[in-house]
A and B are shown apart, each in its own frame.
Chain A
Amino acid sequence: AQSVTQLGSHVSVSEGALVLLRCNYSSSVPPYLFWYVQYPNQGLQLLLKYTSAATLVKGINGFEAEFKKSETSFHLTKPSAHMSDAAEYFCAVTRNSGNTPLVFGKGTRLSVIA
């Protein structure tokens, strides 16, 4: 079975500071990995995805994530936080073949302090 673990249910950063949201995955087969963002009172929106091509993946709004197989990690980063980045972020995993559902982590709430 596949799973993801997000370290830290709440992360708080100052505006302009580095954003680092941690995600570790568990998968017995090569995974597809994703980050989704959920703004207040909205549905989830795809931020970026890793599908076994480049290990450094760039997404929307200046976010990027690096797939590290040796560390089973897929951490999300952004060099400089903006107030509009305040949201809930979800890491998710699925298999790279077949039809298995997307499995989400518990989420990390990002607060940005002015």
Chain B
Amino acid sequence: DSGVTQTPKHLITATGQRVTLRCSPRSGDLSVYWYQQSLDQGLQFLIQYYNGEERAKGNILERFSAQQFPDLHSELNLSSLELGDSALYFCASSASDRNTGELFFGEGSRLTVL
């Protein structure tokens, strides 16, 4: 158990809809990262937050947004969903704002868009 909690574990929705994925980092970790894992693209970095502020941005679509709340949990919002958004979305956390590469991953939220 990494200590990172993600909900929901599975989500099925239709094209055009909006979903919110939630992540609670390990106790004491201030950084939260979101990754998307798909068969064709592999693991793609989306965005990083540190103590409520955005720190790094990757290949995140404009239809996607994220935030980190004062209690350090984070949410990833995906809107106007398309079939290609079907993927496993991972949240990871670390103690530092500097990306030392030592990340603790949750078990992921599997999104299926029909």
Contacts and interface: CB of A to CB of B under 8 A. Distances in A.
A100 B102 contact: no
Contacts of B102: 34, 46, 49
B63 interface: no
Interface residues of A, number: 24
Nearest to B100: A32
Contact of B56 (A46, A100, A104): A100
B101 A104 contact: no
A102 B90 CA distance: 13
B98 A32 contact: no
A45 B101 contact: no
A17 to B, nearest CB: 27
Contact of B90 (A32, A34, A44, A99): A44
18 contacts: A34-B102, A43-B2, A43-B4, A43-B106, A44-B43, A44-B90, A44-B92, A46-B103, A46-B104, A90-B43, A98-B98, A99-B48, A101-B33, A101-B58, A102-B45, A103-B45, A104-B42, A107-B42
A90 B43 CA distance: 9
A96 to B, nearest CB: 9
A101 B107 contact: no
A96 B103 CA distance: 15
B107 A42 contact: yes
Given A43-B4, A92-B101, A101 B42 contact: no
B90 A43 contact: yes
A106 B44 CA distance: 10
